[in-house]
Structure 1
Amino acid sequence: MNTAVSAMYNDLHGLGVDIADLKLKANTAIAFMDNFLVIDRSRCRTAAKERTVLAHEAGHYLSGAFYLAYSPYEIKEQAENKAFAASVEKYVPVEELRRAMANGFTEPWQLADYFNLEEDYIKEALHYWTECRGVDFNQ
């Protein structure tokens, strides 16, 4: 698995997404449904942060889950959950997670280093695989 930040940009370009690095007031990144992504790289202090932001935004393109700024909360939450699931399946796939765990990467911080993603994202990914998808990593 390629954990370089450049791999994330390549994935997005492969999905036909144009990317602009611009200063944003409130967000780190915004994915637009017309295949345009804006990221404020100055808010990404680490490669793991940038990869995590890009993984999440890629999830929107992978799943087609978008919403308008004035959409009701339920619509936003549904789209965010769908995008998160798609990003986890792409960037923290269950077989790669099993392989990492078999090689001794068992703590969330270790898995975060392994995947070069933020620890909170890894914790949510573990929750997704175990609680939402019923994966048992103890087998």
Structure 2
Amino acid sequence: MTNEKLLELAKEKEIDVQEFNSMPLKGLAVRTDDDIHHIAINKSMCKNSIDEKETLAHEIGHCETGSLYCSTESYCIREKCEENAKRWTINTLIPFDRLLSAVKSGYTECWEIADKLDVTCQLVQQAFEYYINICGYAIE
């Protein structure tokens, strides 16, 4: 999925996305009192367009899963919310069928799969862990 498609998805879901380069974070998702979701992306902190895409997907994941928290929440709550957003990101950017197809096509190195799927190697590693250890899928 491209950055443009993610922005279209956010618009369809009525999530307001704005560039906000003066915050000390790459991304931030909030829900206002009127129940509208807003995402701020700090492009200046993103290493490249892939990092920007993964950051945007992660923040949309917070909105779509309702996994929002404030900084005063307990560590357990914050980690649960982050895990939900990460899983949404994996399911959206690296659906299992695309990951399996890449492996069956002969891509075996993390960097090869990441390059093919236009994501980071870190997200590919997280996807393998998620699909195998959490979902119980087999990659043969």
Match of 2:92 in 1: 90
Match of 2:120 in 1: 118
Match of 1:80 in 2: 82
Match of 2:2 in 1: 4
Q: Which residue, out of 52, 55, 61, partners 2:54?
A: 52
Structure 2 Cα separation of the partners of residues 66 and 84 of structure 1: 13
Q: Identity rate of aligned residues, in percent?
A: 23
Provide structure 2 residue ranges, at least 5 long, that are not aligned to the other structure. none
Deviating above 4 A after TM superposition, structure 1's stretches of 4 or more consecutive aligned residues are none
Structure 1 Cα separation of the partners of residues 127 and 22 of structure 2: 27
Structure 1 Cα separation of the partners of residues 116 and 9 of structure 2: 19
Structure 2 Cα separation of the partners of residues 50 and 10 of structure 1: 15
Q: Which residue, out of 20, 23, 27, partners 1:22?
A: 20
Offset, 1:104:
2.0
Q: Is the 8 A contact 2:54 2:89 kept in 1?
A: no
Structure 1 position 61 matched with structure 2 position 59: no
User: CA offsets per residue over residues 74-96 of structure 1, 9 Å max, x none?
Assistant: 11001111111122112211111
AA in 2 matched with 1:13? K
State the TM-score, normalized to the length of structure 1. Answer: 0.89
Offset, 1:105:
2.2
Structure 1 Cα separation of the partners of residues 66 and 126 of structure 2: 20
Provide structure 1 residue ranges, at least 5 long, that are not aligned to the other structure. none
Offset, 1:42:
1.3
State the TM-score, normalized to the length of structure 2. Answer: 0.89
Structure 2 Cα separation of the partners of residues 36 and 82 of structure 1: 18
What is the total number of aligned residue pairs between the two structures?
A: 136
What RMSD, in angstroms, separates the aligned Cα atoms of the two structures?
Answer: 1.4
Match of 1:37 in 2: 39
Structure 2 Cα separation of the partners of residues 15 and 114 of structure 1: 28
Structure 2 Cα separation of the partners of residues 102 and 89 of structure 1: 19
Q: Is the 8 A contact 2:58 2:86 kept in 1?
A: yes
